[in-house]
Amino acid sequence: MSEMPRVAVLYGGPSGEREVSLESGRNVLQALLQQGLDAVGIDVEARRIGAQLHASGAGMAFNVTHGSFGEDGVLQGCLEAQGIPYTGSAVLAAALSMDKWRSKQLWRAEGLPVPEGVLLQRGAKVPDLCAMLGLPFYIKPNRAGSSLGVSKIKAAGDIPAALAAAFAQDSEVICEGAILGREATVAVLDGQALPPIVIETPREFYDYTAKYLADDTRYLLPSGLGEDAERQLQALALRAFAALDGRDWGRVDFMIDAADEPFLLEMNSVPGMTSHSLVPMAAAAAGQDFNALCSTILRAAQRRVENG
17 is catalytic: yes
Give residue 16's pLDDT. 87
Catalytic residue at 268?
yes
204 catalytic residue (yes or no): no
pLDDT of residue 147: 77
Instruction: Encode pLDDT of 223-262 as tens digits.
Output: 999 999 999 999 999 999 999 999 999 999 999 999 999 9
Q: For residue 6, indicate whether it is catalytic.
A: no
> What proportion of the chain, given as a percentage, has pLDDT over 70?
98
pLDDT tens digit sequence for 186-220: 999 999 999 999 999 887 777 777 677 678 889 99
Q: Which of 223, 268, 277, 295 is catalytic?
A: 268
Q: How far apart are CA 9 and CA 64, in angstroms?
A: 7
Determine the pLDDT at residue 146.
Answer: 62
* pTM across the whole model: 0.93
CA angle 201, 147, 191 (to 5 degrees): 90
* Neighbouring residues of 288: CB distance < 8 A, sequence distance ≥ 6: 189, 296
DSSP letter for each residue of 264-308: EEEEESS---STT-HHHHHHHHTT--HHHHHHHHHHHHHHHHHT-
Distance of alpha carbon 266 from the chain centroid: 8
What is the spatial distance between Cα 308 and Cα 255, in angstroms, rounded to a whole number?
38
pLDDT of 126 strictly over 90: yes
Longest dimension (CA), the chain: 60
Question: What is the mean predicted confidence (pLDDT) over 10-30?
Answer: 96
Is 25 a catalytic site residue? no
Query: Active site residue: 170, 212, 248, 250, which one?
Result: 212
Q: Is residue 267 over pLDDT 90?
A: yes
- Single out the residue of 19, 179, 32, 53 nearest to residue 113, CA to CA: 179
Please say if 116 is a catalytic residue: no
Average of per-residue pLDDT values in the chain: 94
**Active-site residue among 11, 12, 13, 17?**
17
The pLDDT value recorded for residue 201 is 85
Using the predicted structure, report yes or no on whether residue 145 has a pLDDT greater than 60: yes
* DSSP3 helix / strand / coil % (the chain, rounded to 5): 40, 25, 40
253 catalytic? Reply is yes
Active site residue 251: yes
* C-alpha span between 176 and 15 (Å, rounded): 24
Reduced to 3 states (helix: H, G, I; strand: E, B; else coil), residue 227 is helix
Cα separation, 249 vs 6, whole angstroms: 21
Predicted local confidence at residue 208, as pLDDT: 73
pLDDT digits 0-9 by tens, 29-80: 999 999 999 999 999 999 999 999 999 999 999 999 999 999 999 999 999 9
Structural contact between residues 236 and 185, judged by C-beta atoms closer than 8 angstroms = no
| Residue 288: Cβ-neighbour burial (10 angstroms; 0-12, 13-18, 19+) | middle
Using the 8-state DSSP alphabet, how is residue 86 labeled? B
Residue 2, pLDDT above cutoff 60 = no
- Show Cβ contacts of residue 16 under 8 Å, excluding neighbours closer than 6 positions: 67, 68, 144, 146, 148, 169
Looking at the predicted structure, is the pLDDT value of residue 1 above 60?
no
